[in-house]
Amino acid sequence: MNNLKLGVLVSGVVGLIGCFLPFISGGGESISFWGMKELAGSGQIFVTMAGYVLGAVMGAMAVAKPPMQRWQAIVATLGFAFVGFKMRDGFLKLITDGAIGAKLMAIAVLAGLVFSVLCIAKPEATK
């Protein structure tokens, strides 16, 4: 069994979990990515979260019914790349200065991209 598909699944789930944990903390207060709906607009939040959902769903499909197809890996890559594109301006700042949710979201993007690109480059053998 190729464990790369598990990496894609876990990356998507960790990114989604990070959306609900503290994103920004300061002065004893914190706000999650989900809580910023009023500030950033709920559409932007949902669209960003959809990238993690794509990765998680593609990974879950491959785990439930192996092998992971190349198209599934491409869709997962596009989802993670889209989230990375949305967070491009302050990506390094999220990892260094963000709260736990921001760190999980950023790391999930990087890990998800690595795992999904590796799934494209080295697809599983069919049984």
| 0.85 exceeded by pTM | yes
89 CB-contact burial (10 Å; exposed 0-12 / middle 13-18 / buried 19+): exposed
* pLDDT score for 44: 87
* pLDDT score for 1: 45
Count of all residues that appear for the chain in the document:
127
pLDDT profile of the chain (127 residues), mean per 10:
88 97 90 87 89 97 93 97 92 89 96 96 80
